[in-house]
Amino acid sequence: MPSASAASTPPGRDPSRRARAGEQAKPAPKRKVAPSAASVPGRPIAKVPKGLAAQKERAVEIFQKLQQLHPDAHCELDHKDAYQLIVATVLSAQTTDKLVNKVTPALFAKYPSAKTLAAAEVAEVSETLRSGGLGMYNQKGKNIVGLAKGIVERHGGEVPRSIDELVKLPGVGRKTANVVLGVMWNIPDGVVVDTHVQRLSQRLGFTKETTPEKIEPALCKLFPRETWDPLSHVLIFHGRRVCFAIKPACSACGVNELCPSAFRAENVGRKNRPPR
């Protein structure tokens, strides 16, 4: 007759396991942690010089290296003229250029000019955006119709070429205005600071400022005016392809030896998130 202890052992279980209960359990596997710059053999943490002249020299060196890494850096919003670019830029708020580029062919086929868009019904424009998969289509439809009306009523249907006039148009801020001025006519009034430029400017040590409003003048102070437009495109390209917000590819970065955030960049330059 089996003993009580044997009888209580579930089928397939080894009764001797209880005898080994005092043995030390195997430790859980260690979590892999990305190495800091100091922990990479032969890789000291890059320092940002204190003097403005030295900071400018360093900034231009980084920019030139990034240009070599991304020689094809350009505005990735598809457009044929200033009207299409300003509309596409307004639509790109809180979404990707890739998605905007899927929507705009149908939009511009229906409304090929500011005059035709200004005369359109907002509901019809919003439906075109919705059918293309764009989010916030009602608000964005209203925005671009209002924008087109402003261009027609104030500027005869032509997109103005000054920052002061552009920012008076509905839905147009400094970022959108400088995209148009820089891409179309190479006369930007500042540096375009989107989420990628905002992040990389902090990671690369160009500034300690954290908001676009303060980052833009800091960049304008560091870089020559003729580089303002290509600078934003190069930083955006690098941010989309290498210096990601999450898990940046520091080991594959061509400027990691100059970057003070190299191999510890993930928590630098990212927007603060509420605790879960």
CA distances from 171 to 54, 105, 139, 148, 178 (A): 39, 21, 10, 10, 13
Q: Tell me, what's the pLDDT at 271?
A: 67
List the structure tokens of 253. Answer: 């970065």
All domains in the chain, ordered by first residue: 46-74+190-252 (1.10.1670.10), 82-185 (1.10.340.30)
Q: Tell me, what's the pLDDT at 44?
A: 74
Contact 90, 144 (CB under 8 A): yes
CA dihedral 145, 146, 147, 149 (to 10 degrees): 90
Q: Tell me, what's the pLDDT at 40?
A: 56
Helices (H), the chain: 4-7, 16-19, 52-69, 82-91, 97-110, 114-118, 122-131, 137-155, 163-166, 174-185, 195-203, 212-222, 228-241
pTM summary value: 0.80
For the purposes of burial, counting CB atoms within 10 Å of the CB of 217, is it exposed (0-12), middle (13-18) or buried (19 or more)?
A: middle
Which amino acids are annotated catalytic?
A: 175, 194
pLDDT tens for the 276 residues of the chain, in order: 444 444 444 454 554 444 444 445 455 554 444 444 444 545 678 899 999 999 999 999 999 999 999 999 999 999 999 999 999 999 999 999 999 999 999 999 999 999 999 999 999 999 999 999 999 999 999 999 999 999 999 999 999 999 999 999 999 999 999 999 999 999 999 999 999 999 999 999 999 999 999 999 999 999 999 999 999 999 999 999 999 999 999 999 999 999 999 999 988 987 655 443
Q: Tell me, what's the pLDDT at 272?
A: 58
Task: Report DSSP state, residue 207.
Answer: -
Q: Tell me, what's the pLDDT at 3?
A: 45
